[in-house]
């Protein structure tokens, strides 16, 4: 019998956060497995998939559960309060929601450990699944000649660095991006492009700014660069560096990156400040082929991610 799953977030067809991409990818996968997907609390729901418990979702799910006690609940957690400049006191609501769920899925091991240790959640049924992105959109250059050209740099070549963020939260890495802007006042062996919403408290003079975009348009832009940079801090587990890596870009990532480090450690180098950023940039430049060839595109894909969530769903 076909199962019906209610997602608490209806996906939007525009540049938005990682939860939006997850629901779009997961609903497509589940429909291919003959699941029925709904975005409203209607009768005969088998599984409730909580993406974000705000907007009265927690209360509505509790009420539905009282009337339909056999319904199963999955809570996907991709947030905390420490990644914000100002807390929005979200964690108490997340903990309440975790306690009504049959299983809680965190988007990184770092986020899983953060909540389990801070709130002593060892008694709950928890796991973690790393995000994945659309491999049909985010992929490296398929032209072999272009791919080979990217593997080595001549002495005077400027290496092209890129990052992209939908959120303009300062902890997304603007402490580093602002320092890079100052560095670029002088001649450097690299250039830097920022795609997305730049923090409004600082107007860069030397960084190339590109407005927010997503999907094919974003992927085409990313493929034109050489290295992906993420200076985000205390990140629960985002999409941006997965998309950069999937387009064939080795990664520079910042210390205290939270869930970022679990993926990026395999395909790049960590830095702590602007001095070590320059050192690690030159190191990757001089060993570029090694990093480029290490990227595991299947691991980064929505296919792997969706299959892991499907296993959770099937075993409820």
Alpha-helical regions (H) of 258-301: 260-264, 274-286, 288-294
Please report how the helices 18-32 and 302-314 are oriented relative to each other, as an axis angle in degrees rounded to 10.
70
Same domain, 99 and 46: yes
Q: Which residues of the chain have pLDDT under 50?
A: none
Q: What CATH code is carried by the domain that includes residue 189?
A: 3.40.50.2000
Do 288 and 197 sit in the same domain of this protein? yes
Same domain, yes or no, for 213 and 242? yes
Reduced DSSP (H G I as helix, E B as strand, rest coil) percent helix, strand, coil of the chain, to 5: 35, 20, 45
Q: Write out the two tokens for 176.
A: 């580093």
pLDDT of residue 219: 97
167 and 251 housed in the same domain: yes
In a domain, 138, yes or no: no
245 and 116 share one domain: no
Sheet holding 4-7, edge to edge: 36-38, 4-7, 47-50, 72-77, 103-106, 126-128
Q: What is the pLDDT of residue 14?
A: 61
| Structural domain total, the chain | 2
Domain shared by 153 and 287, yes or no: yes
Residue 284 and residue 310 in one domain? no
Whole-angstrom Cα distance, residue 218 to residue 203? Answer: 22
pTM, two decimals, is: 0.93
pLDDT for the residue 94:
97
Please give the Cα distance from 242 to 252 (Å, whole number).
Answer: 12
- Residue 187 lies in domain: 144-294
Position 112 in a domain: yes
Residue 113 and residue 80: Cα distance in Å, rounded? 12
User: Looking at the structure, do residues 267 and 175 belong to the same domain, yes or no?
Assistant: yes
State whether 178 and 307 are in the same domain.
Answer: no
């Amino acid at each position: 019998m076909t199962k019906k799953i209610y997602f608490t977030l209806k996906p939007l067809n525009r540049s938005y956060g990682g939860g939006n991409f997850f629901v779009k990818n997961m609903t497509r996968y589940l429909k291919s497995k003959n699941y029925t997907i709904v975005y409203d609390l209607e009768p005969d729901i088998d599984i409730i998939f909580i993406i974000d418990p705000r907007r009265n979702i927690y209360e509505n799910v509790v009420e539905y559960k009282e009337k339909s006690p056999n319904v199963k609940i999955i809570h996907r957690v991709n947030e905390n309060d420490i990644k914000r400049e100002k807390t929005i006191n979200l964690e108490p609501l997340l903990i309440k929601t975790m306690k009504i769920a049959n299983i809680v899925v965190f988007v990184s091991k770092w986020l899983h450990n953060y909540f389990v240790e801070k709130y002593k959640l060892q008694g709950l049924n928890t796991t973690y699944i790393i995000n994945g992105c659309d491999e049909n959109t985010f992929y490296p250059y398929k032209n072999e000649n272009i791919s080979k050209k990217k593997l080595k740099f001549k002495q005077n070549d400027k290496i092209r660095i890129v990052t992209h963020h939908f959120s303009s939260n300062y902890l997304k890495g603007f402490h580093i991006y602002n320092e890079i802007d100052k560095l670029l006042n002088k001649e450097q062996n690299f250039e830097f492009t920022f795609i997305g919403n730049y923090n409004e408290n600082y107007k860069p003079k030397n960084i190339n700014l590109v407005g927010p975009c997503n999907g094919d348009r974003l992927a085409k832009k990313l493929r034109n660069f050489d290295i992906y940079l993420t200076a985000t801090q205390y990140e629960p587990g985002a999409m941006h560096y997965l998309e950069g890596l999937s387009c064939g870009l080795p990664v520079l990532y910042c210390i205290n990156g939270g869930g970022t480090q679990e993926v990026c450690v395999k395909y790049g180098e960590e830095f702590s400040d602007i001095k070590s950023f320059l050192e690690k940039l030159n190191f990757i430049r001089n060993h570029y082929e090694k990093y480029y060839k290490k990227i595991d595109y299947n691991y980064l894909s929505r296919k792997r991610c969706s299959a892991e969530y499907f296993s959770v769903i099937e075993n409820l």
